[in-house]
Chain A
Amino acid sequence: MTGIHSNVMQIKTPEGVAFSLPLASPIARLLAWSVDLGLIALAWLALVFALGLSLVLGGLATAIYYLAFFAISVGYGIAAEWFWRGQTFGKRLLRLRVVDAQGFRLQFNQIVMRNLLRFVDSLPAFYLIGGVACLLSRRCQRLGDLAANTVVVHVPKLSQPDLDAVVSGKFNSLRKHPHLVARLRQRVSPTEAALALQALLRREQMDANGRVALFAELANHFRELTPFPADTTEGITDEQYVRNVVEVIYRTDPPGGAKAKGA
């Protein structure tokens, strides 16, 4: 264990491909646990209410109370994580998932183990031991995770980037100069291209001044990399210039080109 936190868990497959899983932060885990605790408390209240009404059961009601409460408090995490493949209600809400630390399939043994170890992690109160272990651990593992060889990861919302919304078939004056476009594609690094694409995808989330300043900087950078004739770029805003650059970088065929060929 080290005190240095990592945001991702890297796994290298025997095929030589590395992929990473984003680790859940202690705060996100705390929130998910709070939701689950609320659910358990609700179930407990329902139980007390139901048994309180069934006075005819007498001593049997007390027995059911103890057994049911034990089953709920210990069994909830195990059952939920098994049936939802590493997720409880709280984890689903926060988009977290328990996975095997080596990237393998999560086993029932591991789920039971990490949930039984909550008895230590929750000591002396409010998951203090588990929280400290999580903060000290390289992969944010509480003792239960260490014993069961599991980690909690963040499940990203999977969606393809909507390229069409950014670079949809408008006239692109840069394409009038194919040799310059080819030079631009050659000079722009993947990181620079991705940066410009992300700026366009997220432009609506920026404040007005920041947006103008960012696109001015990006446009100047691309202009310096490959200068285009003045008549081509005249009257184009910085943002439109970046949009044109992204379009020619990410689309080797001009929009409608395929149709034109097929026609």
Chain B
Amino acid sequence: MIIDIPKFISAERPYWSRLENYVQRLEQDAAGGLTLGELRQLHYLYERASADLARLNTFAAEPELRRYLENLVGRAYAEIHETRGRGRVVRLRDWFFKTFPRTFRAHAKAFQLACLITATGVLFGLFATLLDPDSRFVTMPFGHDQLRPRERVAMEEKAAVDRLAGQRAGFSSFLMTHNTKVSILTMALGMTYGVGTVIMLFYNGIALGAIGIDYLLDGQVLFLFGWLLPHGSVEIPAILIAGQAGLVLAGALIGHGRRDTAAQRLRSAAPDLLTLIGGVAVLLVWAGLVEGFFSQYHYPVVPYWLKISFGAVELGLLTAFLAWSGRERNPATPAT
């Protein structure tokens, strides 16, 4: 049997047009302002269009019409069978002070693993510098390998002019955007089953360990902490959280001991990943501001004790924030 196409179209077209109208309204607005009666109509029209498609597939091979109906049924299917809530308007304050720390705590093990990997890198950088001083040309970022710590400290402390005069805002923005890009990359590399994320964390650790021991051996501990702590106390944890996100992504991809499919695991991990990387971006904005406007000033302009205290307070606040912010104050107690 072959369908009389013109008859079929003229009979069904009004129903398709009405379905298209409902779907359009839903696509523009999740609720679509549809009444209960209209929703019933929508369901009826969707089923009718599905039946038309099935009929067309069975009795006629008219590709243009089939494509049109497939598209219509596909769009209606997306609206009717979607069970996930449409993105609510996010309250930024609640998201940052509640959702972000809660998500961080929910994946505490991944954070501990990120810390462990970075610490291994720190030890590697430390021993590499101790055992082979020339390894500095490989382990340290460019600039640090060219200058001995005491030479740099002498240069910074004697600086008569403000080298960053007029450039602080630009320098600060550069740091914010660059570090955010590195953090996104660290997270995204989770898609390499975590290998890329591990390399990034380990490499960061190596640079940190090599520079740290270099300043320590040269007797410049005070300068090191005064320089690093104000921005590093936020920046380093931020990179670690980006690593945590990368490991969560890798965990979802590997799915060890889980029965759901990779697609389902990735789908459920996505909101947490975006929360973590969003939180990292906020932290890095703060770190960029501190590094651009405060960290680069040294003794005698800003005393070291002030810079170290500032960094220590930041670290304490950040730890408290991540550990306790967003916790329920009065958890329900069972009746006795």
Contacts and interface: CB of A to CB of B under 8 A. Distances in A.
A100 interface: yes
B2 A120 contact: no
A127 B217 CA distance: 44
B270 A66 contact: no
B319 interface: no
Counting chain B CB atoms within 10 Å of each CB, the highest count among A66, A74, A198 belongs to A66
Contacts of A230: none
Nearest to A66: B173
A163 interface: yes
Interface string B174-202: 10110011001101110110001000000
Interface string B60-102: 1111110111110110011101101011000000000000000
Given A63-B170, A103-B74, A193-B60, A253 B189 contact: no
Contact of A63 (B7, B57, B64, B169): B169
A109 B253 CA distance: 17
Contact of A19 (B70, B79, B82, B274): B70
A147 B270 contact: yes
A160 B266 CA distance: 39
A143 interface: yes
A66 B177 contact: yes
A120 B5 CA distance: 49
Contacts of B273: 113
Contact of A117 (B9, B57, B177, B191): B191
A106 to B, nearest CB: 8
A21 B69 CA distance: 11
Contacts of A65: 170, 173
Nearest to A64: B173
Nearest to B57: A18
Counting chain B CB atoms within 10 Å of each CB, the highest count among A13, A65, A159 belongs to A13
Contacts of A262: none
B122 to A, nearest CB: 25
B270 A59 contact: no
A193 B53 contact: no
Interface string A67-95: 10110001000000000010000000000
Given A160-B9, A185-B2, A146 B185 contact: no
Given A11-B74, A19-B70, A146-B266, A59 B169 contact: yes
Given A120-B196, A193-B61, A163 B5 contact: yes
A17 interface: yes
A149 B188 contact: no
A85 B187 CA distance: 25
A109 B177 contact: no
Secondary structure at the B interface, as helix, strand, loop or mixed, is helix
Nearest to A118: B188
Nearest to A58: B166
Interface stretch (A25-33, A172-180, A210-218, A244-252): A244-252
Contact of A156 (B5, B67, B73): B67
Contacts of B270: 109-110, 113, 147-149
Size class of B's contact patch? 35 or more
Contacts of A67: 173, 176-177
Contacts of B61: 190-191, 193-195
Nearest to B273: A113
Given A119-B181, A120-B188, A197-B62, A21 B27 contact: no
Given A11-B77, A190-B60, A147 B167 contact: no
A159 B169 CA distance: 55
B2 A188 contact: yes
Contacts of B63: 194, 198
Contacts of B189: 120
A66 B267 CA distance: 32
Nearest to B177: A70
B277 interface: yes
Interface in A90-123: 99-105, 107-110, 112-113, 116-120
B6 interface: yes
B129 interface: no
B64 A160 contact: yes
Contacts of A235: none
A19 B167 contact: no
A198 B61 CA distance: 10
A103 B180 contact: no
A152 B174 CA distance: 33
A183 to B, nearest CB: 13
A60 B50 CA distance: 58
A253 B273 CA distance: 61
Contacts of A188: 2
18 contacts: A17-B73, A61-B170, A62-B167, A103-B74, A104-B81, A105-B78, A113-B274, A116-B187, A116-B188, A116-B274, A119-B184, A120-B185, A158-B71, A163-B5, A163-B6, A193-B2, A194-B63, A195-B61
Given A103-B78, A117-B191, A156-B71, 5 more contacts: A13-B50, A66-B176, A147-B249, A158-B71, A191-B61
Nearest 8 CB-CB pairs, A to B?
A62-B170, A194-B61, A63-B169, A66-B173, A70-B177, A63-B173, A19-B70, A17-B50
